[in-house]
Amino acid sequence: MRQIILDTETTGLEAERGHRVIEVGCLEIVNRRRTGRTFHRYLRPDREVDPGAIRVHGLTNEFLAGQPRFAEIATEFLEFVAGAELVIHNAAFDVAFLNAELKRLQPPPGLITDRCSVLDTLLLARKMHPGQRNSLDALCKRYSVDNSHRELHGALLDAQILLDVYLAMTGGQGALTLGELVEATTTATTTVSRAKRPAGTLQVPRASGEEAALHEATLLVIDKASDGKTLWRVLPTAD
């Protein structure tokens, strides 16, 4: 499965009021493995960046004045994301801005959702952790993802952080690249020795009725928190 982890930075918060995309950052993964392919561009917005936005991402009007316009990179961007699932935190925001940029092109090439499906990790996090804070920073803390190097927001940097968070949310071990997995396998030195079996009859303790009831109650709590998606409720039990 091909996925693109995507983030944008903008001149302000509202695409419908003419605010523009000024940075796009994308990382490609296939079957949960980094491929090393990225797409990253700063963009000239042809309008002033809100002071509040500059405090968030640090991208000044002077710096952006020398960057290409979205129309100049649109074809390359659309080719990069075509056919992939876009993984975006608070996808409604980024998708609205990307669609606004695409509508300005002549001729308009359609919406971003005409070319890609979208997975919103904010909605996923809210389902997994109802009633909790689910900002990217909060998820980094929850899943022990290091974001200490993130002094300012940046599209590519935030996409890299989101990738680690997404892999941790949906499986964890997928955060290892194929190269990292091979290196970890080939460099690790492990000595395996057979344990001696003690003499005597093997003792198999059984749970008491009270312990079994407490165990079942705990399973019910976990099952409820996962919306009934726990494997022990879905898969048939062995006789």
65 vs 50: CA distance, rounded Å: 15
From residue 144, alpha-carbon distances to 18, 140, 164, 213 in Å are: 37, 6, 10, 33
Return all residues near 138 (Cβ < 8 A) that are at least 6 apart. 132
Closest C-alpha to 5, from 150, 135, 163: 163
- What one-letter code names the amino acid at 165? V
Of the candidates 34, 32, 31, 27, the one whose C-alpha atom is nearest the C-alpha of residue 4 is: 27
Peptide bond into 45 cis (omega under 30): no
89 is catalytic: no
Residue tagged active-site, from 19, 89, 153, 215: 153
Q: CA–CA separation, 6 vs 115, rounded Å?
A: 14
- Residues carrying an active site annotation: 153
